[in-house]
Amino acid sequence: MVQYCTHEIAPLEVRLDRRFLWMLPRAKIMELVVKQVKPEFSKRQKRLYMWRGFGLCLVFAFIVTTSFLPFATLSKASAQQAPLASPTSQVPVSIWDGVEVTAMPTPVLASLEIASPVAQERAVPNPPVQKTVRLLFGGDVNEGRWGDNPAWHLPLVESFTHLLPLFRSVDLVFFNAEGGLCDPVEDEVEIQPRGRDVLWVKPSSLIELRSVVKNAALVVDQANNHSMNLGDACRRHGQDLLEAAEVGVIGIGANLAEARRPYVIEINQTVIAILAYTDTDVIIDAWVANRDQPGVAPMDTTYLVQDLKAVRPDVDFLIVTMHSGTQYDESVSKMQTEFALMAIRNGADLVIGHGPHIPQGRMDIDGKPIYFSLGNGMMDQCFSKRDAHFWADVRKNLWLEVEIQGSKLVDTKHHVFYSEKCLEPNKASQDITSEVEQTLLNVSFQGDWPWLFPVSFLDQQVGPRFELIGD
């Protein structure tokens, strides 16, 4: 406001009363300034101008309040209806009804619903969350051995008494059925015992187990060094019975193509495939499948890469199993390492091994686990390093639970059992569980393993966790 007024002709300083000057019309102010006249106000005029100013303030406040009230109400309603979630949370792009869309965060959708019905109609619904699938993997399992008293072996379901609740809690149960698929006493098939240790697993026991586990699929791996112990007639007999009872059999067949055929299953809209192979170093050539010969699928990296490329485009999650390794030795062999890494590099999501009869270490490549050996699932081997004459404990039974969602591996869980009483695995003590966990963490390799891959690869992928064993 004007504080001092000065005129060129009459330099008389006139001070205006600033308390009431702002209430006067602009023309009146200019007149006072030019004439250098100090305004004179009566009491009545002062009251009039004060009430006039107060009324203008009320009008201005009313206009401001009515203008911003709808926006304040909308913001409050949006905050109350939106769930407690971060408005900046990222939602991945997904395919919904054939159209690629990016789902909006929930608070933004809530605001749109209140603000505009048109925006609500345009909002794209979130696709349903894909259900998880739980798979359970075990190691070597047998039910009988040539030369033993049959009465000494329990039926498979009774041996698995303490494991049955775990079997029923998952969607698929898988283990290595180490032995011929027939009963040499009761089945009317031609038996041809071959090999130093002749083992078997009764088809009737597997069918009974399948009925007991109810909703879980049952798959047995026959890619091992004992599945042809009782001859091809036994293989045909057991394979036909199990497939009729919807028990999956992989890793063996009437020829090489059938032995390499994957087991494929869809669970909760997730397509899963399993491939199975065995190390042929301890198997006679007559047991290895070829184009015209029945037998097991060999651990050949050429076959492995071909099979992975053939099945990978059609499945969400791909698993490779191998029967390989030095018996009763925690260090991993060159064959195991080479085959497992080749599987991961060519599309496998998970590699699981069995054969050494004891657990071996775990290795992760690009977030994809390799379990070199789960040990025994349940076998008639009843010795341990606690005995004075033996250096390994084959009574430790590791069962691996894998949780997946679509093509993503969500979690892995280790269930450790111990056969304190032979052929009757029970939940292991905390000490034994800790021993198995340490074995998984501290994976070791046999002396020739560094020659498999360049040192630069080992430095990047392996790191300090790995220990060189041997010369």
Q: Token digits for 408?
A: 């993503």
Note the residue count of the chain: 471
Q: What is the pLDDT of residue 26?
A: 53
Q: Give pLDDT, residue 432.
A: 95
pLDDT averaged over every residue in the chain: 79
pLDDT of residue 401 exceeding 50:
yes
Rg (CA), the chain: 40
Summarised one tens digit per residue, pLDDT across range 55-84 is 777 877 777 676 655 555 545 544 444 444
CB burial string 52-61: b at 16+ within 10 A, e below: eeeeeeeeee
**What is residue 3's predicted lDDT score, i.e. its pLDDT?**
40
* Burial of 14 from C-beta contacts in 10 A (0-12 / 13-18 / 19+): middle
What pLDDT, on the 0 to 100 scale, is given for residue 376?
Answer: 95
Closest by Cα among 336, 431, 430 to 374: 336
Q: Among 25-34, 105-114, 375-384, where is mean pLDDT lowest?
A: 105-114
Distance (Å, rounded) from C-alpha 96 to C-alpha 82? 24
What's the whole-number mean pLDDT along residues 330-344? 95
Which domains are seen in the chain, by residue range?
4-40 (no CATH), 82-128 (no CATH), 133-468 (3.60.21.10)
Give the separation between CA 374 and CA 330, rounded to whole angstroms.
11
d(CA 353, CA 360): 9
The neighbouring-strand residues paired with 135 are 172, 402
- pLDDT surpasses 50 at 302: yes
Task: Write the DSSP assignment of 23-63 as a string of letters.
Answer: TS-HHHHHHHHHHT------HHHHHHHHHHHHHHHHHHHHH
**What mean pLDDT do residues 14-22 have?**
47
Is 147 in a helix, a strand, or coil?
coil
Query: In the structure, what pLDDT confidence band is assigned to residue 9 with cuts at 50, 70 and 90?
Result: very low
Which stretch of DSSP H or E encloses residue 264? strand 263-267
Tens of pLDDT, residue by residue over 89-104, are: 444 433 333 434 344 3
